[in-house]
Structure 1
Amino acid sequence: MDIAVIGVSAEAVEIYRYFLRHPGDSVGSARQRLADADPERVQAIVEELGRLGLLDIKDRHRVVATEPRVGVERLIEKRLDELNMEIRRVLETRDVIATLEEDLRGGESSSGVLAIERVEGLDEVRRRIDDLGFFCYEQTLALHPGGPLSPGAIETGRVVATRNLRRGLSVREVYHPTALGNPLMDSYLRDLASLGAQIRITEAQMDRMVIFDSVAVVAIHPKESHRGALLVREPGLVSQLITYFDGVWQDAVDLRNFTEPSADAPQLSELERRVLSVMATADKDEVAAREIDVSVRTYRRYVADLMARLGAVNRFQAALRAKEENWI
């Protein structure tokens, strides 16, 4: 038995158990009976158990072990108090963020941070993309004009997108049809869609880029992405790039509709069907989101999109029309 997490070693537990089995025994008797243990070591552990409150050693000739329910529970509570204090100290460090942000803004205004930063080498680009994705708070937008992504790019994209989707961020990506048909790539896109990402396909020409909130990442050379990327922070330019993305997005087709075209009822993802199924039954968004295992933000985004597609003015009407149209 090892309860070191509350400050009691496995060796100390054995000595504590000895005194539980031999109430009123002396320290000297314990040293003699525990033949495998070093007598000085036994003495030191008995002292430690006394400090921990597991043994009453006021009378060394008659040691009394504290009842486990009392002694161990007291140590658990003490450890929990220590952990809570540690958590509070960690959380309090957030207060420094505001001060550090002021320093950052002051540095930007005085020295001028590069509005466009050149990053060379695929490994460094992927590292910077992972950093940008980690500190993203609202949305990720991406255009992929070529064929299937490389295994390395897929792994980087999977980590960033999965983390952001689980945090409730909006993830919208547009791919060219040539990206489809590769087993690894198709599995990647299906996984993202199942987590709540919105994936569309377009045959139109587009430039490769990724946008994390207010930072855009574009290739140094549109035909040679291996050369590196430009990190764009200039607000006016980023705004234009977002407008460009929105134009491509509006003309693109949902991944499911592209791969499984149908003239009948619209193809819905599994997540969309689950959203529809709880819209009319859950009285709170938090309950519905928890039931289908998505964030509240993701649930509300899907509800808004489905209501618009169904032409419904409220959620109950949307669920009713979905049943009438055989969507669910």
Structure 2
Amino acid sequence: MDISVIGVPAEAVEIYRYFLRHRGDGIGSIRQALDMDPDTIEGAVDTLGRLALLDITDRHRVMATEPRIGIERLIEQRLNELNTEIRRVLTTRDAIASFVEDQRHGEEATSALDIERVEGLDRVRQRLDDLGFFSYKETLCLHPGGPLSLGAIETALPLDTRSLRRGLAVKAVYHPKALDDQNMAAYLREVVSLGGQIHITEDPMDRMLIFDRSVAVVPIHPKESSRGALLVKEPGLVSQLVTYFDGVWDAATDLREFTEPSSDGPLLSDLERKVLEVMARADKDEIAAREIDVSVRTYRRYVADLMARLGAVNRFQAALRAKEEKWI
């Protein structure tokens, strides 16, 4: 039985029980009857005395307080303490009005536009990493310049891999100049092989990143991205930027078509071919996704895209048409 809730530790309970059974015994008798070290006994006896469960005025003749009196008194005392604590907790509700007032002032201060200015490349990279980590649908990117540096590629590839393995859609548009660098071209091919979608366009475009179509990141200065970035969360502005991205995306050319325009057959990534191969034979999406080592969300997204491209009404028909068209 645990009565530590009213302040009586376990070792003190055993000593209290002893003196209830052996009224009038002295402290020294406990050392012979109970397997406890002297310091533990002394501490427990002092505790019981403080709680008025033992009368230790005469340590050679200790008297235990009747349980119905001693224990009940401790219970009542503890309940009073708890009631006092509850009243203290309830009074904190009075602080809500003050906090609400602070919130109102904060909303008024930022009511103009929900735009955050982030300066310095390190801070920008950290915020981008945070946004990518907490995204759950897709990442959209417009990259108007030339190739990324080798360091930037080495930083970007693990982030893209993480996003794609989590089932996010990754869509990016690059200028053809980005393909002039071998490392950059290899990086883009790797992203495509993992399930990302890359388009190429020679048309002018503005640099930006969009996460889950709810947060847009644009440079503070359009020609000096190193100065920092603006994180835009204002729904109206983000919607306009998403519309702009979609227009650029639709007008651009798929990377594989851009780099291999003479190919007679459809341009399929390795992952797309794997999806087609398991589509007909796998009974469940979970089994198929596990077999090709992707998330269920990613598998279903690829299935829907391939069915649309093949003009199929179901997955089995899509697999048959893929074989007829010699896609697999």
TM-score by length of 2: 0.65
**SS of 1:266's equivalent?**
coil
| Equivalent residue number for residue 111 of structure 1 | 106
1:306 paired to 2:301: no
- In the alignment, the residues of structure 2 paired with residue 106 and residue 268 of structure 1 have an alpha-carbon distance, to the nearest angstrom, of 57
| Equivalent residue number for residue 86 of structure 2 | none
Shift in CA distance, 108/251, structure 1 to aligned 2, threshold 3 Å: farther
| Equivalent residue number for residue 277 of structure 1 | 277
- In the alignment, the residues of structure 2 paired with residue 155 and residue 209 of structure 1 have an alpha-carbon distance, to the nearest angstrom, of 20
- In the alignment, the residues of structure 2 paired with residue 161 and residue 171 of structure 1 have an alpha-carbon distance, to the nearest angstrom, of 8
Superposed structure 1 runs of 4+ greater than 4 Å apart:
105-110
Superposed displacement of residue 109, structure 1: 6.1
Structure 2 matches for 1:104-253, cutoff 5 A? 111-112=106-107, 115-213=114-212, 214-253=214-253
- In the alignment, the residues of structure 2 paired with residue 106 and residue 198 of structure 1 have an alpha-carbon distance, to the nearest angstrom, of 47
One-letter amino acid matched to 1:300: R
| Equivalent residue number for residue 60 of structure 2 | none
Q: For residues 12-49 of structure 1, what are the alpha-carbon distances to aligned partners after superposition, in whole Å with 9 as ceiling and x for unaligned?
A: xxxxxxxxxxxxxxxxxxxxxxxxxxxxxxxxxxxxxx
Q: For residues 201-243 of structure 1, what are the alpha-carbon distances to aligned partners after superposition, in whole Å with 9 as ceiling and x for unaligned?
A: 1111110000112111101111111111111010111111111
**SS of 1:154's equivalent?**
helix
1:286 paired to 2:286: yes
| Equivalent residue number for residue 93 of structure 2 | none
Superposed displacement of residue 121, structure 1: 1.5
- In the alignment, the residues of structure 1 paired with residue 135 and residue 102 of structure 2 have an alpha-carbon distance, to the nearest angstrom, of 21
Equivalent pairs counted in the alignment come to 225
Unaligned runs of 5+ in 1: 1-104
- In the alignment, the residues of structure 2 paired with residue 191 and residue 107 of structure 1 have an alpha-carbon distance, to the nearest angstrom, of 49
| Equivalent residue number for residue 71 of structure 2 | none
Shift in CA distance, 227/278, structure 1 to aligned 2, threshold 3 Å: same
What value does the CA root-mean-square deviation take over the aligned residues?
2.0
One-letter amino acid matched to 1:298: T
| Equivalent residue number for residue 266 of structure 1 | 266
One-letter amino acid matched to 1:111: G
Q: For residues 60-84 of structure 1, what are the alpha-carbon distances to aligned partners after superposition, in whole Å with 9 as ceiling and x for unaligned?
A: xxxxxxxxxxxxxxxxxxxxxxxxx
- In the alignment, the residues of structure 1 paired with residue 154 and residue 226 of structure 2 have an alpha-carbon distance, to the nearest angstrom, of 16
Bigger Rg, which one: 2
CA contact (8 A) 1:130 1:156 kept: no
One-letter amino acid matched to 1:178: K
| Equivalent residue number for residue 295 of structure 2 | 295
Unaligned runs of 5+ in 2: 1-99
- In the alignment, the residues of structure 2 paired with residue 297 and residue 249 of structure 1 have an alpha-carbon distance, to the nearest angstrom, of 22
Structure 2 matches for 1:52-91, cutoff 5 A? none
- In the alignment, the residues of structure 2 paired with residue 272 and residue 260 of structure 1 have an alpha-carbon distance, to the nearest angstrom, of 17
Q: For residues 178-215 of structure 1, what are the alpha-carbon distances to aligned partners after superposition, in whole Å with 9 as ceiling and x for unaligned?
A: 10031221121122112111111111111000011211
One-letter amino acid matched to 1:249: W
> Which stretch of structure 1 is more off in the superposition, 187-196 or 135-144?
187-196
